[in-house]
Amino acid sequence: MENMENKDSLLVSVDIGTYQTSVVVAEKTHDGLAVLGIGTAPSQGVRKGLVTNVENAAQGLQQAVAEAEANASCEIHNVFVSLTGGHMEGISSQGVVRVKGGEVSADDVREVVAVARTIALPPECEILHVFPQGFLVDGQERGRDPVGASGVRLETDVHVISVSSTALYALQKCCERAGLYLNGVYYGALAAAEAVLTPEEKELGVVVIDIGAGTTSVAAFCQGVVYYTAVLPVGGENVTNDLAVGLCIPVAEAERLKQQHGCALTSLIAPGEAIEMPRIGERDAAPLPRRKMSEIIEPRIEEIFELVREQLDFGGLSDRLGAGVVLTGGSALLEGVPDLAQRVFRMAARRGAPRCASDVVDPKSQRVPHLISMEGHVDSLAQSPMYAANVGLILCHAQDTLRPPAQVRNGQNWQHMRERVVEWFREFF
């Protein structure tokens, strides 16, 4: 490829979704991240978030990568990939160890987390992430950093995410076939959360619901840490299928109508509002009341939200989500989705667009890397809820390396902390 630069500072994320494969290229700059280019291609060989045909999925990936390379004028070799699918499971676990030297050391912390992650997994499954939620030393809460506390008994609660080994292997194969090196894998809804939530929202309690085509991925945070994750095998393609069946139209036509005129809340539509349905087969063109469409869409999205709400109720989380619901994924673009979420969850709901520099106001948030506002096409695309997982993956991996020198507080402490962050990051990965 001529005139294409090969930069070390590039961060590339890949989302092989059920509907589309998207690639986002960003570059580290001294004060943030600049999105250089995006490439997309329709996905093939992906069902309910799972790569079922490596060959076909790799083709889509290659196509999306080529487009991103052309847009960003660069060569792509290394990628971070997001993962979702019904095979994923969020599991809460605990660990206890004896503190060896009378004072909790980093080794004790590592050991107690290792104990907590020792769980019986279903066959062919492995651990993708381990998120410690907090530590107790001799029964006393010590928050997220117990190092230095005196005591004899160290306990922790962790949230473990397990995934199918086959799914991971398929992703790796897919990247290999497309000539890419897989740098790391991250759960999609957590990546999306990284792009659309503020640290304050995570402290207050918040749930991210990423509604894709084949899946709905959920991640809830309380007091700044991951408390709950789950993936439901339903999403936008169910809505499209319902429309195709309900209106007796081909799936492709149902998809088009949904994206152009769909609404998830019937009460938002004025009576008499109609759209023109084109001539299909023997049937003449005819006006279609928009309400008729939304009467099909609403129950399906409502059902998805009810399922999520039941799970949150079951986990005792519903009262702990002060910052409400944040919606990402392509299906969050549907008109009325936040209003419907507000009704079902009885809490505030908004769409989550990947944050950009202009959104960052308070000093606490400034430690979080953000997209630099760039003029034009790429920037506005990257700010769609549809690319939240892509952008979030990049932010996850930039997080540690992007802290500007001005924020580096007193040397040694910072270095110590940074090493631990890096270690923990490996642990989570």
Cβ proximity to ligand ATP: between 156 and 215 the closer is 215
Taking alpha carbons only, the member of 212, 191, 174 closest to residue 63 is 174
**Residue 336: phi, psi to the nearest 5?**
85, -5
Residue from 170, 334, 360, 398 that binds ligand ATP (CB under 6 A)? 334
Q: Quickly tell me which residue has 């995006």 as its tokens.
A: 38
Report residue 408 as tokens.
């580096």
If one asks whether residue 13 binds ligand ATP (CB under 6 A), the answer comes out as no
Report residue 299 as tokens.
């129950």
CB 40, CB 64: distance < 8 Å: yes
Beta bridge partners of 163: 126
List the single partner that 205 binds among Mg ion, ligand ATP, none, CB under 5 to 8 Å by kind. none
Taking alpha carbons only, the member of 186, 169, 232, 243 closest to residue 391 is 186
Task: Please give the residues from 118 up to 157 whose contact with ligand ATP meets the rule CB under 6 A.
Answer: none
CB 26, CB 395: distance < 8 Å: no
Taking alpha carbons only, the member of 93, 240, 89 closest to residue 156 is 93
CB 239, CB 262: distance < 8 Å: yes
If one asks whether residue 186 binds ligand ATP (CB under 6 A), the answer comes out as no
Taking alpha carbons only, the member of 285, 283, 261, 259 closest to residue 274 is 261
Binding flags for ligand ATP, 357-396, as an x/- string (CB under 6 A)? -----------------------------x----------
R_g (Cα) of the chain, nearest Å: 23
If one asks whether residue 212 binds Mg ion (CB under 5 A), the answer comes out as yes
Cβ proximity to ligand ATP: between 115 and 381 the closer is 381
Binding flags for ligand ATP, 341-360, as an x/- string (CB under 6 A)? --------------------
If one asks whether residue 17 binds ligand ATP (CB under 6 A), the answer comes out as yes
Could you count the other beta carbons within 10 Å of the beta carbon of residue 423? 13
Cβ proximity to ligand ATP: between 11 and 301 the closer is 301
Residue from 213, 218, 222, 304 that binds ligand ATP (CB under 6 A)? 213
Residue from 39, 132, 205, 214 that binds ligand ATP (CB under 6 A)? 214
Least distance from C-beta 219 to Mg ion, angstroms? 13
Task: Please give the residues from 226 up to 265 whose contact with Mg ion meets the rule CB under 5 A.
Answer: none
If one asks whether residue 352 binds Mg ion (CB under 5 A), the answer comes out as no
Sequence-ordered alpha helix ranges (H) in 73-151: 106-116
Cβ proximity to Mg ion: between 99 and 386 the closer is 386
List the single partner that 183 binds among ligand ATP, Mg ion, none, CB under 5 to 8 Å by kind. none
If one asks whether residue 20 binds ligand ATP (CB under 6 A), the answer comes out as yes
Distance CA 284, CA 165 (A): 50
Distance CA 163, CA 167 (A): 7
CB 41, CB 110: distance < 8 Å: no
Cβ proximity to ligand ATP: between 326 and 386 the closer is 386
**Residue 283: phi, psi to the nearest 5?**
-85, 135
Sheet strands (E) in 223-341: 225-232, 274-277, 286-289, 325-328
If one asks whether residue 329 binds ligand ATP (CB under 6 A), the answer comes out as yes
Cβ proximity to ligand ATP: between 194 and 237 the closer is 237
Residue from 32, 151, 212, 336 that binds ligand ATP (CB under 6 A)? 212
Stretch that binds ligand ATP, among 2-10, 109-117, 144-152, 229-237 (CB under 6 A): 229-237
What number of chain residues touch ligand ATP (CB under 6 A)? Answer: 25
What DSSP character marks residue 279? P
Least distance from C-beta 210 to ligand ATP, angstroms? 7
Least distance from C-beta 20 to ligand ATP, angstroms? 5
What DSSP character marks residue 317? -
The angle subtended at Cα 225 by Cα 11 and Cα 32, nearest 5°, is 30
Least distance from C-beta 428 to Mg ion, angstroms? 20
Interface residues with Mg ion (CB under 5 A)? Answer: 17, 212
Where on the chain is the footprint of ligand ATP (CB under 6 A)?
A: 15, 17-20, 49, 84, 212-215, 235-237, 240, 255, 258-259, 262, 329-331, 333-334, 386
